Amino acid sequence: MGYRENPRPGGRSARVQAAVHQSVRDMLATMDRAEVTIPMIAQRANVTPSTIYRRWGDLQALLADVAAAHLRPEGEPARIGSAREDLEAWVEQYADEMASGVGRQMLRDILAAADSANAEKCGTYTRYQLSVFIARAEACGEPFPTLAELMDHVISPIIYRILFDQTPDPHYVRKLVAKVMRESVVSA
């Protein structure tokens, strides 16, 4: 009865999941989110609507699932130079992606879902990425903010602005990073 969280790769279930996810991405790219329906997604994915209803429950949950999958990091963030430079580059790209139309919509879909599992997942992704920079800095003996400081004073303000409709521009993002770095130096 229960659907497994991570279907065995290559199985039928995995194929259906991939087809449905792809279908959702296609539709979101083509048309307005408000006119996307489960029957349409099902048709494009060559699947019956009831399959989607049984597996995901409703549109909200499906969209949240697709969004979370998209937001999952591919690997470790790029290494350019110092941990600070790496962080700056990463945050700037993060802000850009989240503030884009698609990114914003994904955020909303994730937060709107009744089940907060995807939201948690997202937070975990971000914390993981940041912890990589922290580890690098530590390895070099470079002074660096803590994870909590980065989450509270860099990530949170960016996300807040995006959600409440004030796009964070690159200059603003750099200022946030600069500030948190300055404080970490002082306290070190």
Partner DNA sequence: CCACTAACGCAAATTATTTGCTTTTATACA
Partner DNA sequence: TGTATAAAAGCAAATAATTTGCGTTAGTGG
Applying CB under 7 A, which residues contact DNA? 1-4, 7-8, 10-13, 16-17, 37-40, 46-51, 53-55, 57-59
Minimum CB separation from a copy of itself for residue 145, in Å?
Answer: 13
Contact criterion met (CB below 8 Å) for 183 and 149 = yes
Distances 98 to 92, 93, 126, 136, 145 between C-alpha atoms, Å: 10, 9, 12, 25, 22
Given candidates 37, 156, 169, 170, which one binds a copy of itself under the rule CB under 8 A?
156
Q: Which does 10 bind (CB under 5 to 8 A by kind): DNA, a copy of itself, none?
A: DNA
Q: Which amino acid is at 186?
A: V
Rg (CA), the chain: 19
Kindly state the tokens that stand for 185. Answer: 């130096």
Q: Which does 33 bind (CB under 5 to 8 A by kind): a copy of itself, DNA, none?
A: a copy of itself
153 touches a copy of itself (CB under 8 A): yes
70 touches a copy of itself (CB under 8 A): no
Q: Which does 176 bind (CB under 5 to 8 A by kind): DNA, a copy of itself, none?
A: a copy of itself
52 secondary structure, DSSP code: H
Q: Distance between CA 86 and CA 1 in Å, rounded? A: 46
Minimum CB separation from a copy of itself for residue 9, in Å?
Answer: 28
